[in-house]
Structure 1
Amino acid sequence: MAKLALIRSLSDIDIRLVRIFIVVTECGGFAASELELNIGRSTISKHISDLEARVGLKLCNRGPSGFSLTPEGEQVLAAARKLLSSIDGFQSEIDNIHTNLTGTLRIGLFDQSTTNPNAHIHKAIRSFDHVAPDVALEIALDPPSTLEARIADGTMDVAIVPVHRKSTLLAYTPLYTEHMTLYCGEGHLLFDADPDASAADLDLSGHKYAGYAFNSPNMKAGQNLGLKRAARVQEEEALFLLIQSGCYLGYLADHVARPLLRRGRLRPVAAAETSYASTFAAIVRKKPLPDRKTLEFLECLKAAHGNLAQ
């Protein structure tokens, strides 16, 4: 007797699992897909197991011998690609039917985008509202790794993130830069140190350091200085709080630090050696091609940010 289908109707979660399954197969395994999906191997494995439970089939072999698809997995992969192609085609056709752009544009941002004088996202939103007044906006604030993962799996349309390690699944449009410096707060042992002292003279590795808990230019800069994190954060607001305590060194965007710097409550630490510039870029999926409203918003972002985005 033939088995009854376990999936009687598809949910958004099912479609997300299908997208992850496709990325894993294209990368050739769980380990290789960690960077592309920006999630850990154990989480990827659970997602694949969840999909196998949903379809009632073993989709892949994983173990010491490596990753490979089962015969059933090959068939499900082909069906999955057809499914996503149909969904994306349907969305594009509906979008093209409308003379005016409609639907919802899902935008992702990292912390403190509104206070960077080089960021003109608000201008892009204003321009977009003129050309697409019927499009609703959803804006989420998340760490860059989460935003990249959501763009890759199709649950977000466009995001603006600091460029660190580029994914082959995403297209990057540079928009603006952000200048970062290592700071300490009032009461820290280095607060009254010679501003011209070198990082070596200050023995930075002997002080507690607060940094982001995800891969980012911030993490790389701290590692280059030999700093070991004594506190991990997800948002710049939490990082700011730890630095203000006077107990931790940490990186802040100069535009974020400026108000307290003027009031004498923050000090840069070996700025000539610790400072760096980070480029922020708009990211979208390469395949399938973004829909009309996403491409229109991308053009608004490029126009708002001028030369760097050209």
Structure 2
Amino acid sequence: MDRLTTMATFLRVVKCANFTTAAEELSISRTLVSRHVADLEAHLGIKLLNRTTRQVTATDAGLRYAELCQKVLGEIRSGEEQIAAIKNEVEGEISILCPIWIGSFGISPATAEFCKQNPGISIRLHFEEPSSNPHEFLAHGHDLCIQPNVLRDSSIMVKKIGRIEHLLVASPEYLAERGMPETAEDLARHDCLAKSTDATWLFTNGERVNLRLPSRFSSNSVFALREACVAGLGIAMLPKGIMRLPLVEDRLVPVLTDNPPAARPLYVAFPPGDAPRRIKALVSFLADWFKQHSPDEA
């Protein structure tokens, strides 16, 4: 016997004072209504209703039990509504994992602005290099992961929120010694400084250049690559946003400006399914924020 169902049926009978009317309102048979009430009376061992051919009335015990049913069902309904409302509230903590090098491209001001607009939100922004395992950020308790790669995993949702423009650069000293490359193919004759995870450089015209590995200097930090490039160790592909000052001061010179590197996308990864509203709200906010703010200018 489903106690909550029989309690709800009993309350409807007391309200309608009629089995048939109660059955119609509940969209069940009159026989089932009678069975529910009979099951309750058998369970409690006491008569709850006085039945006549014209009317059904509650006994004293029935009235007291009806009050109990009203209270129990009301509290359950209220509690369920509060729990269901959690996913619709833009409040609570959001933990975000972000690669260290992407941290300079708008994520910090974007999430700070979201936090400001939603007083009930708290942000925990953690910078480290994400694992190649697409579920790693979830296993470590993070809600979202910012990254430049699509995760080919059906159990992880990925949304593009922006893109990061890159340039090829080298120091004037390096170019004076090794010469200015004229085409992407010419890069095979040069020392290319790359991130540890980069094996290929893609250009806007569709050309791909496979890098010689290991490269003379590599790092998982674009800032380290920038300094190595300024020191004259080779040609590097770097985000535009970290090169303003070196370019202005002529410590770095653009290379292959007629065929620049293809922009790299910026994604946010999050769990699939009916995510809490705070997660959906932040994902939507980040997509809108980066439409208005270039990551290279943030």
TM-score tier by shorter-chain length is 0.5 to 0.7
Q: 1:225 aligns with which of 209, 228, 253?
A: 209
Separation of aligned partners in 1, 2:91 and 2:175? 56
Matches within 5 A, 1:247-266: 247-266=233-252
Query: Is the 1:108–1:147 Cα contact (8 Å) retained in structure 2?
Result: no
Residues 9-61 of structure 1: CA deviation (Å, up to 9, x unaligned): xxxxxxxxxxxxxxxxxxxxxxxxxxxxxxxxxxxxxxxxxxxxxxxxxxxxx
> SS of the counterpart of 1:305?
helix
Residues 49-85 of structure 1: CA deviation (Å, up to 9, x unaligned): xxxxxxxxxxxxxxxxxxxxxxxxxxxxxxxxxxxxx
Matches within 5 A, 1:267-306: 267-287=253-273, 289-306=274-291
Confirm or deny that 1:130 pairs with 2:117: yes
Separation of aligned partners in 2, 1:191 and 1:120? 39
Distance 1:177 1:135, change over 3 A: same
Matched letter for residue 278 of structure 1:
R
Residues 95-148 of structure 1: CA deviation (Å, up to 9, x unaligned): 8459965542111223454654xx4762453234322x2433211122354694
Cross-structure match for 2:155 = 169
Superposition CA RMSD, Å: 3.4
Distance 1:147 1:232, change over 3 A: farther
Q: 2:187 aligns with which of 200, 204, 229?
A: 204
Query: Is the 1:184–1:268 Cα contact (8 Å) retained in structure 2?
Result: yes
Separation of aligned partners in 2, 1:127 and 1:209? 39
Confirm or deny that 1:104 pairs with 2:101: no
Separation of aligned partners in 1, 2:253 and 2:234? 12
Q: CA deviation at 1:265?
A: 0.7
Query: Is the 2:92–2:122 Cα contact (8 Å) retained in structure 1?
Result: yes
Confirm or deny that 1:213 pairs with 2:200: no
Query: Is the 1:95–1:291 Cα contact (8 Å) retained in structure 2?
Result: no
Q: 2:229 aligns with which of 229, 240, 243?
A: 243
Query: Is the 1:107–1:158 Cα contact (8 Å) retained in structure 2?
Result: yes
> SS of the counterpart of 1:252?
strand
Q: CA deviation at 1:199?
A: 3.2
Identity %: 15
Separation of aligned partners in 2, 1:181 and 1:191? 21
Max Rg structure: 2
Matched letter for residue 212 of structure 1:
K
Query: Is the 2:178–2:190 Cα contact (8 Å) retained in structure 1?
Result: no
Matches within 5 A, 1:50-61: none
> What is the total number of aligned residue pairs between the two structures?
206
Matched letter for residue 221 of structure 1:
W
Unmatched tracts of structure 2, length 5 or more = 1-81, 294-298
TM-score computed with the length of structure 1 as normaliser: 0.55
Query: Is the 1:171–1:284 Cα contact (8 Å) retained in structure 2?
Result: yes
Distance 1:182 1:166, change over 3 A: farther
TM-score computed with the length of structure 2 as normaliser: 0.57
Residues 240-286 of structure 1: CA deviation (Å, up to 9, x unaligned): 12212111222101222122111111112223335211111221122
Residues 139-169 of structure 1: CA deviation (Å, up to 9, x unaligned): 1122354694433536211122113554333
Separation of aligned partners in 2, 1:301 and 1:189? 39
Q: CA deviation at 1:290?
A: 2.8
Cross-structure match for 1:65 = none
Residues 163-206 of structure 1: CA deviation (Å, up to 9, x unaligned): 355433321221112111222124214578457x2233xx3223
- Per mean C-alpha deviation after superposition, the further-off stretch among 235-244 and 159-168 is 159-168
